[in-house]
Amino acid sequence: MVRAHAAVRVEAGPDGSARVTELRSAVPLVMRHTSTSPAATGAPGLPAEAWRLEDLVPPALPTVTVHLVGAAAGPLTGDQLRLDISVGTGVRLVLRSVAATLAMPGHGAGPSVLEIHADVATGGALDLLPEPTVAVRGCWHRMVGRATVATGGWLRWREEILLGRFGEPSGQIETDLRVDVRSASAGGATGPGRRPLLRQQLTLGPDAPGLGSAALVGSARAVGSLLIAAPPDDCGAPAADPGTSRPPADQSGHAPDRRQGLAGLGVAVSVSPAEPATAGRIPGGAAVLPLAGPGVLVTALADDAVTLRRHLGD
């Protein structure tokens, strides 16, 4: 059984450039700083009132790119892995992985667990875009995500799951993603000033009742989601209607079109109609849910990883 705790922290330097102030690896979670770039000249920054879907584009900020490299096989059953991510004001972190993660069976007690804890400050941005996790036959794996985005911050978080390798049944995999918005005036990552943006849990595998039914994944072998959150600054930006998952209405009294501006997010406006089911198969597709954050959640099903990525964008 392996226990590992890695961390990455990105902050703005005295000259406004992005710098990595902490980069801590722990096998099998090995972090590699692969590039640093300044903000694009003339590109817009994060909108002060980013409540429309078309405003949820990545902010133009000095950017650090870090790749996660798997230094050992697995995770295996019983492994406990954790990654902490912190992004400060005025910088953007793009975090990717170099290959898919294979969740595999092992001899440890309990499931293998990968926890990702992320905190994004006001005026900061996090692009968390790992490669898919493959639920190998016989595995028992949990993916736990916890993120806090301060108002005026920006987050894009992609999760992709492949139900087994080619030609094999899926192992057991569970996801638990919780994202909160923190008021910039709250002053701290916990306590007052936090409100929930998303709570999502999913259980897939041979023990999931009705997995192959239309209520779950049907014949799809790939399942994924893309969350984009851009809560506006506390300074008088329009707030979403309380108790709903819809963005606020415009001055005409009509809620914005939920598809409007999705192309600018790297999400195909193509929440296209699903093709008719044939030969008893239930085809995949994608759906978009505006969130009262504001933000958007795209969920998708597909036959393979390539098609799934087309639904969720690069």
Residue 256: C-alpha distances to residues 172, 263, 296 (Å): 39, 15, 13
Based on the structure, what is the number of domains in the chain? 1
Query: Considering the domain boundaries, does residue 86 fall inside one?
Result: yes
Give 199-247 pLDDT, tens digit per residue: 999 999 988 877 777 767 878 899 999 999 988 876 443 333 333 333 3
| Inter-residue contact 8 to 66 (CB < 8 Å) | yes
What string of pLDDT tens digits covers the 314 residues of the chain?
899 999 999 999 999 999 999 999 999 999 999 999 998 654 444 444 444 445 567 788 999 999 999 878 889 999 999 999 999 999 999 999 999 999 999 888 889 999 999 999 999 999 999 999 999 999 999 999 999 999 999 999 999 999 999 989 999 999 999 999 998 665 555 556 889 999 999 999 988 877 777 767 878 899 999 999 988 876 443 333 333 333 334 433 333 343 334 434 444 433 444 444 444 444 568 888 888 777 889 999 999 999 999 888 76
User: How far is residue 314's CA from residue 131's CA, in Å, rounded to a whole number?
Assistant: 11
Q: Tokens for 189?
A: 């990552």
Q: Give pLDDT, residue 169.
A: 92
pLDDT in tens, 66-81: 999 987 888 999 999 9
The answer to whether residue 190 is domain-embedded is yes
Q: In terms of residue numbers, what domain contains 53?
A: 3-235+260-269+280-312
Name 14's Cβ contacts closer than 8 Å, sequence gap at least 6: none
On whether residue 91 sits in a domain, the answer given is yes
Is 289 within the bounds of a domain?
yes
Contact 221, 283 (CB under 8 A): no
- Residue 68 and residue 163: Cα distance in Å, rounded? 22
| 174 vs 145: CA distance, rounded Å | 11
Residue 241 lies in a domain: no
Give the model's pLDDT for residue 281: 44
Cβ count near 35 (within 10 Å)? 10
In a domain, 155, yes or no: yes
